[in-house]
Chain A
Amino acid sequence: MKPTDIKDPEYFHKVVDCQYACPAHTPVPEYIRLIAARRYTDAYMVNWESNVFPGILGRTCDRPCEPACRRVRVEEQPVAICRLKRVAADNRGDISGRLPIIPSQKNGKRIALIGAGPASLTVARGLAPLGYELDLYDNQFAGGGMMRSQIPAFRLPIEVLDEEVNYILDMGINSVFNIEVDSLKQILAKDYDAVFVGTGAPRGKGLNLPGLEDAMDNVFLGIDWLSSVAFEHTKSIGKRVLVLGGGNTAMDCCRTSRRLGGEDVRVVVRSPYEDMKASPWEKEDAQHEGIPIYNNHVPKEFVVEDGRLKGMRFEKVEAEYDEAGNRSLVPTGEDPVFMPADDVLMAIGQENAFPWVERDLGIDFDKWDMPVIDSTTFQSTNERVFFGGDAAFGPENIITAVAHGHQAAVSIDLFCRGENVTERPLPGVRLSGQKMGVHEWRYDNAVEMDKRYLVPLAPLDKTLADRKMEVELGFDVDTGFKEAERCLNCDVQTVFEELRCIECDACVDICPTDCITFTANGSEEDLRGRLSAPAGNLAQDLYISADLPTMRVMVKDENVCLHCGLCAERCPTTAWDMQKFLYTVTKAQMES
């Protein structure tokens, strides 16, 4: 294998598993160390700069970082990254002095942002400090998009949402709320320099089953029903509620039903429990509130008597997987199952809809009627129109929308300055030495064995009685500290300098997880077969040195490195050094 090029920013970035897995690439270990140092405001700002909504995401994020956490490769549970983010948000001081200064002298460019959800708000935050004039359109009465209409208040208190949305709206954004934009052509006619479409995936999917027509009054689309609850149009639901679907919307629907009068609330899903799309913790939260999940039940019909919904009938199935792993749901042949219901909520998915985008604007649509968008620049085939968030590639999540927003802001800025949107500024990278003494580092390199701490919950009877009462109480600062100490500091990199190495084997002998081997070079497959310890995780790179004097190479399997720094402590010649790697994503007009 060729020697590893550690100058390539993506090499060490990939070692920081959590940051790499995060769509917005938030420097997770960096802010976790700040939390451990009880510097909550600093920790908050690291987040704010990267993911714009730390308080919101600290409660609602889909947490792609946590399954990626290195800790799950050496023990059972990842660091509670998401809940630590909330610790930073809950305990921060006043940040008003740290927000970007908005120039009073504008740069003369006008941008329209359609939809006031996380994607548009991120674009606004990126462009407002650069002097852009921004018009933000939304059909709701306030900003936040689906974070306001679909995430129940017991998961995300309105005050938390308002505060973080307002940081952006207060940047001199011209908000045009309570307006349904029904023609992109009209917007373009207003001579904006660029238009960003962040209108989400607003259309809930329904099931057209026998009996639906007669049952219509008691059957609702999940996301529409949730927003109707959020905006206080809907205040109650029947005692017996069936929620169809296995995603996070289904979990929000069933838990909201429990708070609006539902007593016998059930989630019914076609797939096996394990295949459900909902995050594991959301399923647990629903079950904790006494909501059973019936899996392997395929809905067949609405049962209507005397013109009123009585319940639904389901067919029982089993999942079978073929050799390629494709699933098919095969009926078991058992009798159909009837479940009584007063109301049914359908939360089986949502999709995009662009009836308001005229098809003669130079924006190409593909065969699924989705706009053709460049996945790096987020530009459509009409160079003035950019898409992001769920509107770009279908339903994802908040953090993905934020990531899109950052990149779209970069593109819009380049475009408005007349530059090539594909020639993007490089990410920011900084490597800084951590050595302070023989056994001293600037980071806390001791590896804690504590198991993941549980987040305390408010009493069940109280939260079920109040739709707006937040269920999770968050870590207190002491638990937050202990949880933060579980972080392995994967951003503090083991940097190897072959010219200094005397091949004494000290690093090999001390490494607690047998990551390091000195051996003759070979192909990757060959090397993986003869390292100090099994190296079967192909998703994790091998770090290869240039040839050493004995014509061997140093091979480090990054997989279960604990970043404990012992290799560097035991190295007599400082061939190993621990260096903190800080990677910051390309942002609008972030130039060197």
Chain B
Amino acid sequence: MSYLVPKFRHPELPVNDLGYTKADYEGSISTLCAGCGHDSISGAIVTACHELSIPPHKIAKLSGIGCSSKAPTYFLGNSHGFNSVHGRMPSVVTGAALANKDLLYLGVSGDGDTASIGMGQFAHVARRNVNMVYIIMNNGCYGLTKGQDSATADRGSASKKGDPNIYSAIDLCGTALQMGATFVARGFSGDKEQLVPLIKAAISHRGFALIDVISPCVTFNNNAASTKSYEFVRDHSEATGTIDFVPMHDEITTEYDPGSHHEVTMHDGSTIHLYKVEDSFDPFNRSSAISALEAHRTEGNILTGLIYLNKDSRDLHEVMETSQRPLNELDETDLCPGNRMLDNINASLR
């Protein structure tokens, strides 16, 4: 019987700049189905946060409802957490991010939570460019209610006991681009080599960073007729390129061949090196990204990797010109500066 993970860890686990090992970023033992893609995404988040040396108390993880939204319990056990109402995570993050701009906001949602009940919320959090990482654990089905097709299930795809889906699928990367998202990527839970750098880049991005992660549901949607099974995704995914993430304080040791890659300095000073597969694709151009998505979809393939990055992103705080100090740190004297200040303001308006 094991509902507990043993406390022993590998004695030589590497420590990060804060002196923490990966174990310090783990959460409780997962109660998701064995083999659930979501657990791998949790693992990738743990690895990314550990390697970026983010202090766990500087992270807030927020979620809605569903298998995906249970997942934050299973990673970052020393960080803040908020499990909100179904589909309403974006609003809660928006409020929290406005109140305290100093935390890293990690929104975790699923295809139901985002593409169905939360679709309106999703559109607006992208449009407002709230500074957050929005991870969708996308399995194309409602696993928590026995596997019905979700809004991201492809037309013609069938779950384990279902008929082929008759509706067209919502492409959340495409939707996010339309809504003005400034960082859009797609990953696969079965490919951490790609997913971890994507998460790191998303964390370094200032503004709304979406990662749509295809995450097979082993219980209901990992069968031969499904387009979100481990096997189908492995056979049909095509990466835009590979990403090499170099944190700001690390020395660049790799020699980069100019011309073969794009080098992007992120807002926090770290660098990403993007190796493109196709010359025609430009990840800094929204229409190029939209057409690449559409082209792959038409061919029945799944485009993964970094799809779009707006290097000039200005997040909600910048647009609203809020104070440098987080709003939750402003006390009464800051907010009510007194009669003299009021008189001054009034005088300036005369």
Contact call B10/A533, Cβ cutoff below 8 A: yes
B143-167 vs A, CB cutoff 8 Å, 1 = contact: the mask equals 0000000000000000000000000
Whether A536 contacts B6 in the complex (CB less than 8 A), given A503-B190, A572-B33, comes out as no
- Asked if A35 CB lies within 8 Å of chain B CBs, one says no
- Asked if A457 CB lies within 8 Å of chain B CBs, one says no
Q: Which of B1-54 contact A (CB under 8 A)?
A: 1-14, 22, 29-30, 33-37, 39-40, 42-43
Considering the chains assembled together, what is the distance between the CA atoms of A440 and B12 in angstroms? Answer: 30
- Residues on A with C-beta less than 8 A from B2 are 439, 445-446, 564-566, 569
Choose among A506, A512, A514, A536 the residue that contacts B40 (Cβ–Cβ < 8 A). A506
Cβ distance B226 to chain A, nearest Cβ, rounded Å: 13
Whether A505 contacts B13 in the complex (CB less than 8 A), given A75-B8, A562-B6, A564-B6, comes out as no
Interface residues on A, range: 35 or more
- Residues on A with C-beta less than 8 A from B37 are 504
Considering the chains assembled together, what is the distance between the CA atoms of A549 and B4 in angstroms? Answer: 32
Contact call B8/A570, Cβ cutoff below 8 A: no
- Residues on B with C-beta less than 8 A from A512 are 5-9
- Asked if B312 CB lies within 8 Å of chain A CBs, one says no
Contact call B234/A509, Cβ cutoff below 8 A: no
Considering the chains assembled together, what is the distance between the CA atoms of A554 and B17 in angstroms? Answer: 30
Whether A571 contacts B34 in the complex (CB less than 8 A), given A502-B222, A560-B11, comes out as yes
Contact call B39/A509, Cβ cutoff below 8 A: yes
Cβ distance B236 to chain A, nearest Cβ, rounded Å: 14
Whether A570 contacts B39 in the complex (CB less than 8 A), given A446-B2, A510-B30, A534-B12, comes out as yes
Contact call A74/B12, Cβ cutoff below 8 A: no
B22 and chain A: residue at smallest CB distance: A514
Considering the chains assembled together, what is the distance between the CA atoms of A510 and B7 in angstroms? Answer: 12
Choose among A504, A514, A533, A570 the residue that contacts B190 (Cβ–Cβ < 8 A). A504
Whether A509 contacts B40 in the complex (CB less than 8 A), given A447-B8, A504-B218, comes out as yes
- Residues on A with C-beta less than 8 A from B40 are 504-506, 508-509
Contact call A446/B8, Cβ cutoff below 8 A: no
- Residues on A with C-beta less than 8 A from B13 are 514, 533
Choose among A514, A550, A566, A570 the residue that contacts B35 (Cβ–Cβ < 8 A). A570
- Asked if A174 CB lies within 8 Å of chain B CBs, one says no
Considering the chains assembled together, what is the distance between the CA atoms of A440 and B37 in angstroms? Answer: 23
Number of B residues contacting the other chain (C-beta, 8 Å)?
35
- Asked if B231 CB lies within 8 Å of chain A CBs, one says yes
Considering the chains assembled together, what is the distance between the CA atoms of A529 and B31 in angstroms? Answer: 32
- Asked if A332 CB lies within 8 Å of chain B CBs, one says no
Contact call A569/B34, Cβ cutoff below 8 A: yes
Cβ distance B281 to chain A, nearest Cβ, rounded Å: 25
Contact call B33/A510, Cβ cutoff below 8 A: no
Contact call B34/A506, Cβ cutoff below 8 A: yes
A505-522 vs B, CB cutoff 8 Å, 1 = contact: the mask equals 110111011110000000
Contact call B11/A73, Cβ cutoff below 8 A: yes
A551-591 vs B, CB cutoff 8 Å, 1 = contact: the mask equals 00000000010101110011111000000000000000000
Choose among A447, A502, A509, A550 the residue that contacts B6 (Cβ–Cβ < 8 A). A447
- Asked if B192 CB lies within 8 Å of chain A CBs, one says yes
A437-479 vs B, CB cutoff 8 Å, 1 = contact: the mask equals 0111100011101000000000000000000000000000000
Whether A446 contacts B4 in the complex (CB less than 8 A), given A74-B11, A502-B35, A513-B9, comes out as yes
- Residues on A with C-beta less than 8 A from B12 are 533-534, 536
Contact call B7/A447, Cβ cutoff below 8 A: yes
- Residues on A with C-beta less than 8 A from B14 are 534
Cβ distance B346 to chain A, nearest Cβ, rounded Å: 61
- Residues on B with C-beta less than 8 A from A75 are 8
Contact call B35/A510, Cβ cutoff below 8 A: no
- Residues on B with C-beta less than 8 A from A506 are 34-36, 39-40
- Residues on A with C-beta less than 8 A from B230 are 502-504
B5 and chain A: residue at smallest CB distance: A512
Query: A-B pairs with CB below 8 Å: how many?
Result: 108
Contact call B7/A449, Cβ cutoff below 8 A: yes
Whether A509 contacts B43 in the complex (CB less than 8 A), given A504-B35, A533-B12, comes out as yes
- Residues on A with C-beta less than 8 A from B283 are none
Contact call B5/A566, Cβ cutoff below 8 A: yes
- Asked if B66 CB lies within 8 Å of chain A CBs, one says no
Considering the chains assembled together, what is the distance between the CA atoms of A565 and B33 in angstroms? Answer: 16
Considering the chains assembled together, what is the distance between the CA atoms of A441 and B1 in angstroms? Answer: 7
Q: Which of B147-200 contact A (CB under 8 A)?
A: 189-190, 192
- Residues on A with C-beta less than 8 A from B36 are 504, 506
Considering the chains assembled together, what is the distance between the CA atoms of A447 and B1 in angstroms? Answer: 11
Contact call A439/B1, Cβ cutoff below 8 A: yes
Choose among A73, A439, A562 the residue that contacts B3 (Cβ–Cβ < 8 A). A439
Contact call B5/A446, Cβ cutoff below 8 A: no
- Asked if B216 CB lies within 8 Å of chain A CBs, one says yes
B26 and chain A: residue at smallest CB distance: A512
B222 and chain A: residue at smallest CB distance: A502
Q: Which of A89-130 contact B (CB under 8 A)?
A: none
Contact call B189/A514, Cβ cutoff below 8 A: no
Cβ distance A168 to chain B, nearest Cβ, rounded Å: 42
Considering the chains assembled together, what is the distance between the CA atoms of A379 and B3 in angstroms? Answer: 54
Cβ distance B75 to chain A, nearest Cβ, rounded Å: 10
Cβ distance A441 to chain B, nearest Cβ, rounded Å: 8
Considering the chains assembled together, what is the distance between the CA atoms of A303 and B35 in angstroms? Answer: 78
Cβ distance A433 to chain B, nearest Cβ, rounded Å: 17
Considering the chains assembled together, what is the distance between the CA atoms of A74 and B6 in angstroms? Answer: 11
Contact call A570/B192, Cβ cutoff below 8 A: no
Contact call B34/A572, Cβ cutoff below 8 A: yes
- Residues on A with C-beta less than 8 A from B190 are 503-505
- Residues on B with C-beta less than 8 A from A509 are 39-40, 42-43
Cβ distance A304 to chain B, nearest Cβ, rounded Å: 55
Cβ distance B132 to chain A, nearest Cβ, rounded Å: 24
- Residues on A with C-beta less than 8 A from B6 are 446-447, 512, 562, 564, 566
Q: Which of A478-511 contact B (CB under 8 A)?
A: 502-506, 508-510
A75 and chain B: residue at smallest CB distance: B8
Considering the chains assembled together, what is the distance between the CA atoms of A536 and B13 in angstroms? Answer: 12
- Residues on A with C-beta less than 8 A from B8 are 74-75, 447, 449, 512-513, 560, 562
B255-299 vs A, CB cutoff 8 Å, 1 = contact: the mask equals 000000000000000000000000000000000000000000000
Whether A573 contacts B234 in the complex (CB less than 8 A), given A505-B190, A509-B43, comes out as no
Contact call A508/B43, Cβ cutoff below 8 A: yes
- Residues on B with C-beta less than 8 A from A502 are 35, 218, 222, 230-231
- Residues on B with C-beta less than 8 A from A508 are 40, 43
- Residues on A with C-beta less than 8 A from B11 are 73-74, 560
Contact call A513/B10, Cβ cutoff below 8 A: yes
B216 and chain A: residue at smallest CB distance: A504
- Residues on B with C-beta less than 8 A from A533 are 10, 12-13
- Residues on A with C-beta less than 8 A from B10 are 513-515, 533-534, 560
Considering the chains assembled together, what is the distance between the CA atoms of A154 and B175 in angstroms? Answer: 82
Considering the chains assembled together, what is the distance between the CA atoms of A514 and B9 in angstroms? Answer: 8
- Residues on B with C-beta less than 8 A from A440 are 1
Considering the chains assembled together, what is the distance between the CA atoms of A440 and B2 in angstroms? Answer: 8
Considering the chains assembled together, what is the distance between the CA atoms of A549 and B230 in angstroms? Answer: 11
Considering the chains assembled together, what is the distance between the CA atoms of A564 and B39 in angstroms? Answer: 19
Considering the chains assembled together, what is the distance between the CA atoms of A512 and B2 in angstroms? Answer: 13
B39 and chain A: residue at smallest CB distance: A509
- Residues on B with C-beta less than 8 A from A510 are 5, 29-30, 39
List chain B positions with a Cβ less than 8 A from chain A: 1-14, 22, 29-30, 33-37, 39-40, 42-43, 189-190, 192, 216, 218, 222, 230-231, 234
Extra pairs beyond A445-B1, A504-B36 (10, CB < 8 Å): A449-B7, A504-B40, A504-B190, A505-B39, A506-B34, A506-B40, A536-B12, A549-B234, A562-B6, A570-B35
Closest 8 CB pairs between A and B?
Answer: A572-B35, A447-B6, A509-B43, A533-B10, A74-B8, A534-B12, A505-B40, A572-B218
Instruction: Supply 5 A–B pairs (Cβ within 8 Å), ascending by A.
Output: A439-B3, A447-B6, A502-B222, A549-B234, A572-B34
